[in-house]
């Protein structure tokens, strides 16, 4: 039987994403709402090892719902990968009176949480925070929707100059293992082609598509490339290859980079963060543990951490067809 | 048996919303993709009556995916409410060789489409375009997600000045019959209270809540009010009432108004518009008629127009609880 | 001879504006750069009276350069208008070891600073922070450039829906005594007419202009109205008047309100705030007092507070002509 | 004596920048206002050679004041560098009845205009359109203010993730020959160091500055680098160098690229474009030629094209000091 939970710790871990602060706020205020104490843990698992803690009440999360980044900071911790490090971390939580843990992060962070739970029978709950949207058990991770808007906004700007000069642009977006950002932002930005890890378009079809696009009267084109695209060429090599084969094109490359991780979260991400924070805390209070809270088919749900870590939320294949039709 | 469709007309009707242009683009390009002609109809049903048409090919919708408003313009048509007007409109479509119609708009527009279908056995398909999100058969209407971001962005600005001056703001947002915008944007913007048509909070509880909020140490507060709120007072009367009962508050009112209807669509709305446009055209080509295409549980679906008109997409009651907890 | 200054107090007063935080940061860091202490005074003159102070070092202003509002909060203080209140305030500064004061605000705030200087021979320096741009001695006040971008962004959204529906919009913007925002944002947003306090266009000419605009083939129109416009009618009365005389118009009103005061400052406002903060502190350290720092012809300059209070930065009359030509 | 001008041609040339459309609109409407015809020339000098023209009236520039890019498109023309090309271009203008030319672009474009004027005694007027702000005779080129806001907005996002991870970021911005963007956006974004072509900071001082910054308690840092920085290292080499010497830093690089050239122009750029367009046309009508219109000390002025081409608008050295103080 699970003992009564009187104090919950919360941390952010791994790559940060917009909406993490809104999730922290939600965890803190849900704790307060239920009369449970809340402890903020700085710099993820590393701060847990170092005892870098701060008591948090509902007023300590004022005015952060709209802020990018994470006020608890994030870090990767090698020490937490050792048994010794985790023992230290556990002892610190026990000393601070913490009974349960909410981990906001990606699958690496969840793996840490799962091991921690197993070793110390410590209640944990995960909230998916990453812009890549590559986590099984949730149709949307925190920050993903915001990142899509950031990317689309950037490509809109690039298109202004592309169409003024009749140019072809290769735009690299984040997504090492998953093409969610590339595929959705590519459709949203009206890209002519979208290259994602999940599908090897092939260089020949890319060439063909670009030629068809020019023939159809398009004077400028955008190709969106996920960083993890499987063509075996990075975006600059891709440019060189196309330039060699389609010398009539004036090509430029743009690598959007880390700005995709920042910015004020979209309304969707703020609401999602609020909902997931409530569910995470209340699930812990109900005695549940070792789950990730997520959203599936518009409903907040629990997925065992183990499944969330192993699986990946799949690309909607319908979107590949939509993309093809849109670039008619 | 439905005859083969060779030409599809498309129009926008009723209040405009961000994403309508992306939907027009999708309809036009899906037609082109399937070798079907497409006719743009200006100013909704009124333009149909006046024969205000323009042939549209894939290049006529270049560079509009990111534009607010509607290039086909919108209008309300009294004449179309008469049998005579509709006969004229039908004759114009027949003369122009149009076999089927895609109507982008809200429930008023769909009612027109349904009547038109019934009277002339003319294939019609609806795409929900309105920021209010009040249409049955789709969890998201075109423009709703964009409007949420616009509202949240405005309230973020208002909060800057509210918290600098320790003020209370009443912010009125759109939503005559539905509190979707108020409820979601209210949570997203961290509002202390949210007043919506679906729930009569009562003036006493509002007073109580504001007093509690002040007592808890909050120095500024935002109350989001849907224009259709059922308190029987408009937002200015509400202000007067609160000022009378809580004289310690320095209160201001902000009515966001029509800017909520404009702006470049969010990535979500652009992708949704692209998907719905494909589905609308392909459903017509498959011989279907009298449906609205929408999205439910992340899947594009068809709902009979009749149901879409009669019903309303319900408020997620869980969000009222989330809002309460968040304002702890 | 002025005694050596070892500690400078800084406050924000009156209506807040974007860039105030950047100015606070600049004052604090310039103090640190020169080895002078800095004391933050909360809630303007009221906080000075109540001794609501906080020591500020360079790290206490981290990550605020891009934040709207003011971390020092602002307030209007009736008590400071009394001799008694000012004596209390002065005593508090003396007790805290403060030798000089930087006041960030508008002309009301400067009047307070001037009186304070006169009564206690206390060195003061003003930094103009208000979105209205109505202060003599500076071509730009802090927040003005940001407010222009906010207004133009809102009207862009309104235009989306205006042109979709062939409507006429009256948009009221801030500016009780000065038409700077209306005139510049009106030109920037492509308004057909701009009504400002400095020029009484007259209702007849407005009617005439709108008729000409319609005749010239414009299907939608925006009229920007400064809240202090001298037509003797508020924006809703104006709407009624025009509707009566030009019944063919479908008119809507939008009052932009307080959101104009918030938001992340533009690059211009952040750079200006940084420059003015440096100049304010260094001028005090040079023994100067009773000036406002401002920018004139791209150069940072000092203007005696007395002149800054009495005068107004004039409207550029050339812009009225430009506006006329642009609405051809 | 200059003959009466009845028709003015307008083109955009070189790299595009936000505000070019607003300038085209201003030229077209000022022509209409004065009863002069206006001819749009597509793709700069190349379109002049190819006779790629379009008559433009006041309604053909509706709804473009807020659009990035240039509706007239831009191109670089090798053919125009030959006498033969220019003769063809001149003949086309004469055939089209064009008496004078407005060229919107950078110094390369102005050089073309000057040669053209000299060879054919053809009245020309330049409007400075480039984000780099490197043209003598104007304190602001069209697009510069917008680019600053774009850069600052991107760095704000990068800072979110930088400060969440205690990282150091090198952000490369445009400016091959001029550090205006880097210096102003660097101050605006709160950069710790700014590397510009006009000043060789030296690697040692950079190292020292970063060490001092860390020692002072800053947990994250942004270094803004103009692409034309004179350190002899590109931004990636710079990263490697610093990493070697300050291994405690976790460094990332972000190259903002072409998005800096696009986007909806700021209010400042729209108003400036409107003013410069009026002045350019009216100056031609007054018989002037071979000037660039610009803005100096807030006043619209004329500078001989020859001087505009040869000189450069200088960096404000005061800003280097401000930057130093701000990074205290």
- Residues C47 and C40: their CA atoms lie apart, in Å, by 10
Residue A121 marked in a binding site: no
Contact assessment for residue B44 and residue C166, using Cβ atoms and an 8 Å cutoff: no
| DSSP bridge partners of A225 | A172, A195
The alpha carbon of residue B290 is apart from the nearest alpha carbon of chain A, in Å, by 23
Q: Are residues C272 and C132 in the same domain?
A: yes
| Cα–Cα–Cα angle for C289, C294, C298, rounded to 5 degrees | 140
Tell whether B76 is in a known binding site.
yes
In terms of Cα–Cα distance, which of B143, B141, B127, B108 is closest to B261? Answer: B143
Closest chain A residue to D72, measured at CA = A164
Q: Which residues neighbour A158 within 8 Å (Cβ) at sequence distance 6 or greater? A: A169, A171, A222, A254, D257, D258, D259, D262
Residue B298: pLDDT band (50, 70, 90) is very high
In a domain, D1, yes or no: no
**Would you name the residues of C annotated as active-site residues?**
132
**B163-196 pLDDT tens trace:** 988 899 999 999 988 999 999 999 999 999 999 9
What pLDDT shows up at residue B304? 98
Q: Establish if B262 touches chain C: CB-CB under 8 angstroms.
A: yes
Least confident range of A89-93, D177-181, D191-195, D212-216? D212-216
Which residue positions of D form the known binding site?
A: 15, 25-29, 76-77, 106-109, 130-132, 159, 167, 174-176, 190-192, 218-220, 227, 252, 258-261
Q: Do both C221 and C97 map to the same domain?
A: no
Using pLDDT thresholds of 50, 70 and 90, give the confidence band for residue B199: confident
Let me know if residue A196 belongs to a domain. Answer: yes
Q: What CATH code is carried by the domain that includes residue D51? A: 3.40.50.450
CA distance C229 to C20: 27
Residue D297 located in a structural domain = yes
Size of interface C-D (CB pairs under 8 A): 143
Q: Which residues of D101-131 are buried (b: 16+ CB within 10 A; e: fewer)?
A: bbbbbbbebbbbbbebbeebebbbbbbbbbb
Chain B residues within 8 A of A189 when measuring between CB atoms: 65-66, 267, 270
CA distance B160 to chain A (A): 9
Cβ within 8 Å, pair B68-C18:
no
Across the interface, of D188, D300, D325, the residue whose CB is closest to C278 is: D325
Burial category of A60 from C-beta neighbours within 10 Å (exposed 0-12, middle 13-18, buried 19 and up): middle
Q: Is B190 on the interface with C (CB under 8 A)?
A: no
The reply to whether residue C267 touches residue D148, judged by beta carbons under 8 angstroms, is yes
Ranking A147-156, B142-151, D170-179 by mean pLDDT, the lowest is D170-179
Write down the pLDDT at residue D232: 66
Residues of D in contact with A12 (CB under 8 A): 164
Nearest alpha-carbon partner for D322 in C8, A159, C274: C274
Annotated binding residues of D for substrate:
130-132, 167, 174-176, 227, 252, 258-261
**Residue A64 — left, alpha, or beta (φ > 0 → left; ψ -120 to 50 → alpha)?**
alpha
Please state whether beta strands D100-105 and D7-12 pair in parallel, antiparallel, or not at all (unpaired): parallel
ipTM associated with this complex? 0.96
Q: Which of D230, D246, D261 is the last residue of a domain?
A: D261
Decide if A70 contacts A130 (C-beta within 8 A). no
**Does pLDDT of A2 surpass 60?**
no
* Residue positions of B annotated with a catalytic role: 132
Assess whether pLDDT exceeds 60 at residue D2.
Answer: no
A252 has a chain D CB within 8 A of its CB: yes
Q: Is C180 on the interface with D (CB under 8 A)?
A: no
Residue B327 is assigned to a structural domain of this protein: no
Using the predicted structure, report yes or no on whether residue D43 has a pLDDT greater than 80: yes
Short-list D69, D59, D55, CA closest to D23: D69
Q: Give the contacts of B253 (CB within 8 A, at least 6 positions apart).
A: B169, B170, B171, B172, B235, B236, B239, C257
pLDDT over 60 at B1, yes or no: no
Amino acid B2: pLDDT: 55
Whether residue C132 is found in the same domain as residue C16: yes
C-alpha to C-alpha distance for C166 and C176, rounded to whole angstroms: 30
Mean pLDDT, rounded, for B313-326 = 93
Is A161 within 8 Å of D255 when comparing Cβ atoms?
Answer: no
Alpha helices of chain B — where are they, by DSSP H? 20-33, 44-50, 83-95, 107-120, 144-165, 180-188, 203-215, 235-245, 267-285, 305-310, 317-326
Instruction: Compute the mean pLDDT over every residue in chain D, rounded to the nearest whole number.
Output: 94
Chain D residues in contact with C62 by the CB 8 A cut-off are: 218
B118 pLDDT above the threshold of 90: yes
Residue D35 lies in a domain: yes
Would you tell me how many other CB atoms lie within 10 Å of the CB of residue B249?
A: 17
Instruction: Kindly report the backbone phi and psi dihedral angles of residue B103, in degrees, each rounded to the nearest multiple of 5, phi listed first.
Output: -110, 120
Residues A18 and A138 in one domain: yes
Helices (H) and strands (E) in chain B, counts: 11, 11
Q: Which CATH number is D226's domain given? A: 3.40.50.460
The reply to whether residue B278 touches residue A185, judged by beta carbons under 8 angstroms, is no
The answer to whether the Cβ–Cβ distance between A322 and B275 falls below 8 Å is yes
Q: Are the C-beta atoms of A17 and A143 separated by less than 8 Å?
A: yes
For the sheet with D193-195, list strands across it. Answer: D193-195, D221-226, D168-173, D251-255
Chain C residues with CB-CB distance to B160 below 8 A? 16, 18, 67-69, 261-263
Q: Domain check: are D129 and D269 in the same one? A: yes
By C-alpha distance, the chain A residue nearest B296 is A297
The answer to whether position A294 is within a domain reads yes
CB distance D66–C149 less than 8 Å? no
Segment A164-185 shows an average pLDDT of 93
| Whether A105 contacts A76, CB under 8 Å | no
Pick from B231, B189, B129, B204: which is nearest to B327 by CA?
Answer: B189
For residue A324, CA distances in Å to A213, C271, D112, D254 come to: 11, 46, 42, 31
The phi, psi pair for A206, rounded to 5°, reads -65, -45
Q: Do B242 and B280 belong to one domain?
A: no
CA nearest to D225, candidates D250, D251, D245: D251
Q: Chain D contact for A169, CB < 8 A?
A: yes
Say whether both B137 and B14 belong to one domain. yes
Residue A1: its pLDDT value, please? Answer: 41
A65-103 pLDDT per residue, tens: 999 999 999 998 999 999 999 999 999 999 999 999 999
Determine, for residues D262 and A156 on separate chains, whether the beta-carbon distance falls below 8 Å: yes
Q: Between chains, do A328 and B270 touch, taking CB under 8 Å as contact? A: no
Q: How would DSSP label each residue in D217-282? A: T---EEEEEETT-TTSS-HHHHHHHHHHH-TT--EEEEE-GGGGG-SPPPHHHHHHHHHHHHHHHH
Residue A103 inside a domain? The answer is: yes
C260 touches chain D (CB under 8 A): no
Structural domain tally of chain B? 2
pLDDT of A178 > 60? The answer is yes
Strands C53-55 and A53-55, by their bridges, are unpaired
Residue C287, SS3? coil
Given a contact cutoff of 8 angstroms between Cβ atoms, the answer to whether D275 and D295 are in contact is: yes
How far apart are alpha carbons B274 and A326 in whole angstroms?
Answer: 7
Mark whether C55 and C99 lie in a shared domain.
yes
Q: What percent of chain B has pLDDT over 70?
A: 99
Q: Which among C16, C18, C161 has the least Cβ separation from residue B261?
A: C161
Are A105 and A174 part of one and the same domain?
no
> Rounded to whole angstroms, what are the CA distances from B14 to A91, B25, B76, B172?
63, 18, 6, 22
Q: How far, in Å, CA of D157 to CA of B103, rounded? A: 39
A124-128 and A291-296 beta bridge pairing: parallel
Residue B22 has phi, psi (to 5 degrees) of: -65, -35
* Chain D CA closest to residue C57: D328
Q: Is C156 near chain B, with CB under 8 Å?
A: yes
pLDDT given at position D1: 41
- Is residue A66 within 8 angstroms of chain D, CB to CB? no
| Gap between the Cα atoms of B18 and C161, Å rounded | 9
Host H or E run for residue C203: helix C203-215
Round the average pLDDT of chain B to a whole number and report it.
94
Among the options D16, D99, D132, D134, which is catalytic?
D132
Chain A contact set for B156 (CB, 8 A): 66, 264
D253 touches chain A (CB under 8 A): yes
**Please, which residues bridge with residue D102 across strands?**
D10, D125
Percent of chain A surpassing pLDDT 70: 99
- Whether D295 is in a domain gets the answer yes
CA A48 to chain CA centroid, nearest Å: 22
Q: Catalytic residue numbers of A?
A: 132
Which pLDDT belongs to residue A52?
98
Residues D103 and D149 in one domain: no
pLDDT at A232 over 70: no
- Give chain A as a 3 state SS string: CCCCCCEEEEEECCCCCCCHHHHHHHHHHHHHHCCCEEEEECCHHHHHHHCCEEECCHHHHCCCCCCCCCCCCCCCCCHHHCHHHHHHHHHHHHHCCCCEEEEEECHHHHHHHHHHHHHHCCCEEEEEECCCCCCCCCCCCECHHHHHHHHHHHHHHHHHHHHHHCCEEEEEECCCCCCHHHHHHHHHCCCCEEEECCECCCHHHHHHHHHHHHHCCCCCEEEEEECCCCCCCCHHHHHHHHHHHCCCCCEEEEECHHHHHCCCCCHHHHHHHHHHHHHHHHHHHCCCCCEEEEEECCEEEEEEHHHHHHCCCCCCHHHHHHHHHHCC
Q: Which residues pair with C12 in a beta bridge?
A: C104
Nearest residue of C to residue B250 by CA position?
C75
How does the average pLDDT of chain A come out, rounded?
94
Range of the domain at D157: 144-261
Domain shared by A88 and A204, yes or no: no
For C255-286, what is each residue's pLDDT tens digit? 999 999 999 999 999 999 999 999 999 999 99
The whole-number mean pLDDT for each consecutive block of 10 residues of chain C, a chain of 328 residues, reads 85 96 98 98 98 97 96 95 98 98 96 97 98 96 98 97 91 92 97 91 88 83 88 84 89 94 98 98 98 96 96 91 94
A140 touches chain D (CB under 8 A): no
Mean pLDDT of B74-98: 97
Q: So what's the pLDDT on residue C220?
A: 83
Adjacency order of strands within the sheet including C193-195: C193-195, C221-226, C168-173, C251-255
Give the mean pLDDT of B222-251.
Answer: 87
Among C154, C162, C255, beta carbon nearest to B255: C255
Q: Are residues B252 and B126 in the same domain?
A: no
């Amino acid at each position: 039987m699970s003992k009564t939970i009187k104090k919950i710790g919360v941390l952010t871990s791994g790559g940060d994403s917009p909406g993490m602060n809104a999730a922290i706020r939600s965890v803190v205020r849900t704790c307060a709402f239920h009369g449970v104490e809340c402890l903020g843990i700085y710099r993820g698992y590393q701060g847990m090892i170092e005892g870098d803690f701060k008591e948090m009440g509902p007023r300590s999360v004022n005015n952060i719902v709209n802020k990018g980044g994470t006020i608890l900071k994030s870090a990767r911790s090698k020490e937490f990968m050792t048994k010794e490090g985790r023992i230290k971390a556990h002892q610190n939580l026990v000393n601070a009176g913490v009974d349960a843990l909410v981990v906001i992060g990606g699958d690496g962070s969840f793996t840490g949480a799962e091991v921690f739970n197993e070793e110390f029978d410590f209640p944990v709950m995960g909230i998916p925070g990453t812009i890549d949207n590559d986590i099984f058990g949730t149709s949307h991770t925190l920050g993903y929707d915001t990142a899509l808007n950031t990317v689309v906004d950037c490509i809109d700007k690039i298109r202004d100059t592309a169409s003024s000069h009749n140019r072809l642009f290769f735009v690299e977006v984040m997504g090492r293992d998953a093409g969610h950002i590339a595929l959705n932002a590519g459709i949203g930005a009206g890209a002519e082609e979208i290259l994602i890890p999940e599908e090897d378009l092939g260089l020949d079809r890319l060439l063909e598509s670009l030629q068809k696009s020019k023939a159809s009267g398009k004077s400028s084109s955008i190709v969106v490339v996920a960083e993890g695209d499987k063509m075996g060429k990075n975006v600059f090599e891709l440019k060189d290859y196309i330039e060699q084969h389609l010398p009539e094109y004036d090509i430029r490359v743009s690598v959007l980079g880390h700005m995709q991780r920042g910015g004020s979260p979209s309304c969707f991400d703020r609401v999602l963060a609020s909902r997931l924070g409530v569910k995470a805390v209340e699930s812990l209070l109900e005695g549940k543990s070792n789950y990730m809270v997520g959203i599936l088919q518009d409903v907040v749900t629990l997925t065992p951490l183990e499944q969330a870590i192993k699986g990946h939320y799949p690309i909607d294949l319908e979107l590949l067809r939509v993309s093809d039709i849109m670039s008619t």
